[in-house]
Structure 1
Amino acid sequence: MGFAPFSTPYDWSRLSSAKKIAAAHPDGMIDLSIGSPVDAVPDSVRHALAAAADAPNAYGYPVTRGTEELRGQIVRWFADARGVDLEALGAGVIPTQGSKEAVSLMASLLGLGEGDVVVQPRVSYPTYEIGTQLAGASTLKADVADVESWRDVPGVRMVWVNSPSNPTGEVLDAVQLRAIVEAARRIGAVVVSDECYALMDWRGEAGSTSTADRLSATPCILSPEVCGGSADGLLCLYSLSKQSNMAGYRTALIAGDDGLLGPMLTVRKQIGQIISGPCQAAMVAGLRDMAAVAVQRDRYRRRLETLVRGLKAAGYDAEMPQGALYVWVRAKSGDCWTDLDDLARMGIIVSPGEFYGDPAYLRVSSTASDEAVEAAARRLGA
């Protein structure tokens, strides 16, 4: 069976008319919609890429499961940044061509199809639902932390977790995650936790003096207090796109239940889903260079604080998110498209909440330059 049909409101071309309005602003358009990094790739990553440009893993076919060096660095990164001992859990790892590939193919790689149900957050990244549709399975949108809302639903085979959340920034604590894991295991469902923003947790800023403490604040689905010392039925997704500005490198990973990853690896070998050799070397450098991650993280924190101030000045009920890179704010008019047009007349473009499941909200991205974010705040406060 091929991919099943899918439908989604997630279509950036729908912003074209607003962008025309914004582009006519005397001082130009400021785009705070798509969460695409704008800052420089760390020097360590660029040097590693260049050094690997003519290595055997570049002129020869790269290894689908990743080089020994890459797999070892992923294990060390989980231990150092997330407090997770993958080896003690018996967990496996697979590098992926960006996290979107893993998200969109996850239901299919797990063998889901007609009659199977995938639980996902009611407000969430739209590719979760698109991937479920591609597999021919059904979506149940719920408050995932409220396990009673889905654990007795017939056919539930997979549960999406996203913490910190895109777009809301919500962070689930270890108690909530453990309840999700326990409920899913009782019904034989797989929990897939999208943790791409895990190192961007803004809740403990005031009392934290250690960079390591700040970077490891968000609980991981594979943490001992969450998983009970076993990776069974659990998969964790992570990406270097935001932490290291490597979106174009397509460097991400899946870690967790090796019994689930083994069949996935077999399929990926046959369809050529492989990170290029030089990019595998660059990924090693990105995972090692936590100092660069801390610098980038602080940029995003400052930008979010600036956006919150500007939005408040414009009359929005804006607050600093618990985590991730976006301010999720209710539209003043009650309709995202009306507010989007109003903001476009200021030369500012944001994302409509309809893309993520709630047309009464807007998503404002901090993935713009310092100058652009500060200009946007000035316009909002004018």
Structure 2
Amino acid sequence: MSGASLVAGSTVGRPALPDFPWDRLVPFRRTAEQAAGDAGIVDLSVGTPVDPVPAVIREALAAAADSPGYPTTHGTSALRSAAVGWMSRCLGVPGVDPAAVLPTIGSKELVAWLPTLLGLGAGDTVVLPAAAYPTYAVGALLAGATPFATDSLTAAGPGRVSLLWVNSPANPTGRVLPVEHLRKIVSWARERGVVVASDECYIELGWEGTAPVSILHPDVCGGSHDGLLAVHSLSKRSNFAGYRAGFVVGDPSLVARLLDTRKHAGMMLPAPVQAAAAAALADDAHVAEQKERYRARRALLLAALNAAGFRVDASEAGLYLWATRGEDCWETVRACAERGVLVTPGEFYGAAGAQHVRVALTASDDAVRRGVEALAV
């Protein structure tokens, strides 16, 4: 290939990716800002934490600040042991080998690059939920594979299914998959040699109904993690989004493959962040405190949406309310923006969300209060 074909702007070899969906919200943000005036927009569109980083985390970060050497890609033994302890203590997943824990630079980068790291490409199909976090599909496209959105195991789409994404509690719907359903997914995948990746970023945020369960729980997988990966994030439970830290855990042979490639690519979590993540995973008190903040905000927003004529579906866990007025989602986005409130159109998550909007709980108490007042107008 000649050097001329590699000039800036060339699209040679570049996968065709969709436009970044949140760019389409910019006009509605302007509408909401004009409607809100000096009080300020009530932004319920993006699930970014707004509360303070717990002191136990900041202190651990500061104590590890003098870290002049390169960090290890596999993570410190302290971090991996903290992850193992948390999984046993909080998720009921015992006996995880610390070697099967791999830190990631937040969970989104792992979601985006997992198909590539697993060696998927043309001819491979990545199955994702019908209403799903957009990065599952983006990851498939980056690898040259085909994303296929479905909630049915009997409709696996074109090509060879190589990876299946599970997301429980789900973004955007907040739906929790029961143990029986997760068990069926694991059985189906193992019969066909399909890797199951379970995005469990919201697993500690169950509100009502079925309690969230990890794909690695013995009741789901029979005690064997073969063919299974669980993806975890500290962003929501620990207000850790600015630190960019998560981890993937599961089948030791799959984790070893990921580790080998990540070593070559220099995909390392900074050492001070590793220390902070270990402290976060070892402390349950700050998680319980943060969960109660979200519980109170959820109660206010849920009541306000119901009073304003919305129907809230699923939403039994996680950081979002999946709401509908039985109309095109963009009409709902516009109506909310005209009241100074910005929400996310369900269309961002696939055709299954065409009549829903996602309402985030990640806003300050004051913003939630103003949002409730605005929805009542």
Q: Same fold (TM over 0.5)?
A: yes
Paired residue secondary structure (1:318):
strand
Indicate whether 1:72 and 2:81 are aligned: yes
Q: Say which of 126, 134, 152 aligns to 1:118.
A: 126
State the identity %.
Answer: 46
| CA distance in structure 2 between the aligned counterparts of 1:320 and 1:368, rounded to whole angstroms | 21
- What's the RMSD between the two structures over aligned residues? 1.7
> What are the Cα deviations for residues 18-59 of structure 1, in whole angstroms up to 9, with x where unaligned?
1111111233211000110000011000000000001xxx21
Q: Say which of 30, 35, 40 aligns to 1:20.
A: 30
| CA distance in structure 1 between the aligned counterparts of 2:232 and 2:170, rounded to whole angstroms | 13
Amino acid of the structure 1 residue aligned with 2:186 = V
Paired residue secondary structure (1:310):
helix
Partner of 1:374: 369
Cα 1:251–1:177 shift into 2, 3 Å? same
Q: 1:3, 1:135 within 8 Å by CA — same for their partners in 2?
A: no
Q: Say which of 268, 272, 275 aligns to 1:278.
A: 272
Partner of 1:106: 114
Cα 1:199–1:3 shift into 2, 3 Å? farther
Scaled by the length of structure 2, the TM-score of the pair is 0.92
Partner of 1:42: 54
Indicate whether 1:308 and 2:317 are aligned: no
CA drift at 1:360: 1.4
Paired residue secondary structure (1:181):
helix
Q: After the TM superposition, which residues 169-208 of structure 1 pair with which residues of structure 2 at under 5 Å, given as runs?
A: 169-203=174-208
Q: After the TM superposition, which residues 250-289 of structure 1 pair with which residues of structure 2 at under 5 Å, given as runs?
A: 250-289=244-283
Q: After the TM superposition, which residues 140-219 of structure 1 pair with which residues of structure 2 at under 5 Å, given as runs?
A: 140-143=148-151, 146-150=152-156, 154-203=159-208, 217-219=211-213
Indicate whether 1:297 and 2:300 are aligned: no
Q: 1:307, 1:377 within 8 Å by CA — same for their partners in 2?
A: yes
Amino acid of the structure 2 residue aligned with 1:372 = A
Scaled by the length of structure 1, the TM-score of the pair is 0.91
| CA distance in structure 2 between the aligned counterparts of 1:13 and 1:294, rounded to whole angstroms | 34
CA drift at 1:9: 5.2
> Runs of 5+ in structure 1 lacking a partner?
206-216
Partner of 2:5: none
Amino acid of the structure 1 residue aligned with 2:362 = T
CA drift at 1:86: 3.8
Amino acid of the structure 1 residue aligned with 2:340 = G
CA drift at 1:91: 6.9
Q: 1:78, 1:86 within 8 Å by CA — same for their partners in 2?
A: no
Paired residue secondary structure (1:243):
helix
Paired residue secondary structure (2:368):
helix
Runs ≥4 residues deviating over 2 A? 6-11, 25-28, 146-150
CA drift at 1:331: 3.8
Q: Say which of 142, 146, 151 aligns to 1:138.
A: 146
Q: 1:310, 1:380 within 8 Å by CA — same for their partners in 2?
A: yes
Amino acid of the structure 2 residue aligned with 1:194 = D
Amino acid of the structure 2 residue aligned with 1:337 = W
CA drift at 1:321: 1.5
Paired residue secondary structure (2:133):
coil
CA drift at 1:8: 2.6
> What are the Cα deviations for residues 261-289 of structure 1, in whole angstroms up to 9, with x where unaligned?
11211111111111100000000111011
Cα 1:178–1:4 shift into 2, 3 Å? farther
Q: Say which of 64, 75, 83 aligns to 2:92.
A: 83
Amino acid of the structure 2 residue aligned with 1:241 = S
> What are the Cα deviations for residues 320-345 of structure 1, in whole angstroms up to 9, with x where unaligned?
7211100111244x111122111111
Amino acid of the structure 2 residue aligned with 1:157 = S
Cα 1:119–1:195 shift into 2, 3 Å? same
Amino acid of the structure 1 residue aligned with 2:343 = V
